[in-house]
Structure 1
Amino acid sequence: MEQLINYLLHFGQLNQQQIELIKSRAVTRTTKKDAYYHEAGRIPREIIFLTAGIMRVCYYNNKGDEITKYFIGENNFIADINSYNQHTPSTEYIQAITDCEYIVFSKADMEELSMTIIPWDTIIAKITAKSLAEKVNRISPMMTEDATERYLMFLRNFPALANRIPLSYLASYLGITQSSLSRIRRKIR
């Protein structure tokens, strides 16, 4: 729980009473490796804060191929924000790559925190803006770099994740085949 509170305090001030209210609304859950936390076609009704493990966001293209959009490590919020806010079915899957532990806030709890804690909406807006900027910074270089550069950039940006993600998921994220990724890895060692 302290991970969550410390993370929130990077984005705004909270007094002890507000912190206790947040803690009282938080529920800790786990998802086992390879299980799906969320499946496409469902309307998200909660937001989670990942405290341990790695999750990936993926979808299926029109050919039926599974495509990894991005990975999410510890100390990050996870939500399909558009589907969550608009109450529409998600088009994405969220899968645990490792055993994961996370803190859950239901939509009703988020609304209560918003109405009760004055700086809550500002804190959430700052977290959302940071996440969107990180997403753009992740995707933009992927469009212009070759496969080797994309892999090297991944290693630079996510050194703690590189050895914890199966090669098939990493290759999908990089937009290459697993055999191409293996060749790149051999070449740069």
Structure 2
Amino acid sequence: MIPEIQNTIAKLTNFAALDIAELLEIGTIKTYKPTAYFLRAGQVPAKFGFVISGLFRYVYMSEEGKEFTKVFMPEKSFISSYSAMISKKPSYFFIESLEPSEVLVIAYEDWEKLRRTNPKWNLLLVKLLEKGYAVKEKREREFLLLDSETRYKIFLEEYPDLEKRVRQFMIASYLGITPVALSRIRKKING
């Protein structure tokens, strides 16, 4: 499990294993069962995590109980409601485990101490924020300019094995369509 973390951080930052050990020392490995929450909407987050194995999704829930999947976060992803964490405000979304998952959990307070002690960790933060911003910008563009069939095809390209790992209603909510519309699109594409 440690090599996944080291490889992911090294690819983003070129940090050596010794540097990465600083981050691992402040983290704790925790397991999550399917449907367990890493974070609930309304909570003020005080931690973030690195998904070692498993799968999570960020999901908004309307007052009527309708779900809107913001993003899927598979292995080698960092999970957080970062804007809520830094502003010390409640998160607007849930971070839900979809499979048995293992996560390196890091307390925000410990992360801040590490960054103050060794400012080079700011590079990892910048890289993660850049990556997150690029994903957000791309997703917004797709929702504004592309039809649902094209969005589904992009989903299949970006997450080639995810369709087997998540329920169809979650994919539909990620695409911003109904499960019935997704079924029609899948039937059309698959012949």
Amino acid at match of 1:77: F
Alignment-derived partner of residue 180 in structure 2: 179
User: Greater shift after overlay, 100-109 or 57-66?
Assistant: 57-66
- Alpha-carbon distance in 2 for matches of 1:83, 1:5: 27
Q: Say whether the 8 Å CA contact 1:50–1:102 is kept in structure 2.
A: yes
Alignment-derived partner of residue 79 in structure 1: 80
Q: Give the number of aligned pairs.
A: 189
Q: Spell out, residue by residue over 1:159-181, the C-alpha distance to the aligned partner (whole angstroms, 9 max, x if none).
A: 13222111010011111111211
Alignment-derived partner of residue 6 in structure 1: 7
- Alpha-carbon distance in 2 for matches of 1:16, 1:186: 48
Alignment-derived partner of residue 134 in structure 2: 133
Amino acid at match of 2:32: T
- Alpha-carbon distance in 1 for matches of 2:16, 2:171: 41
Alignment-derived partner of residue 95 in structure 1: 96
- What is the TM-score of this pair, normalised by structure 2? 0.92
Alignment-derived partner of residue 52 in structure 1: 53
Compute the displacement of 1:14 (Å): 2.9
> Considering only aligned residues, what root-mean-square deviation do their CA atoms show, in Å?
1.5
Alignment-derived partner of residue 65 in structure 1: 66
Q: Say whether the 8 Å CA contact 1:49–1:102 is kept in structure 2.
A: yes
Gapped regions of structure 1 (runs ≥ 5): none
Q: Structure 2 vs 1, CA of residues 186 and 8 (structure 1 numbering), >3 Å: closer, same or farther? A: same
Alignment-derived partner of residue 26 in structure 2: 25
Alignment-derived partner of residue 115 in structure 2: 114
User: Greater shift after overlay, 134-143 or 99-108?
Assistant: 134-143
Gapped regions of structure 2 (runs ≥ 5): none
% identical equivalent positions: 31
Moved over 4 A (4+): none
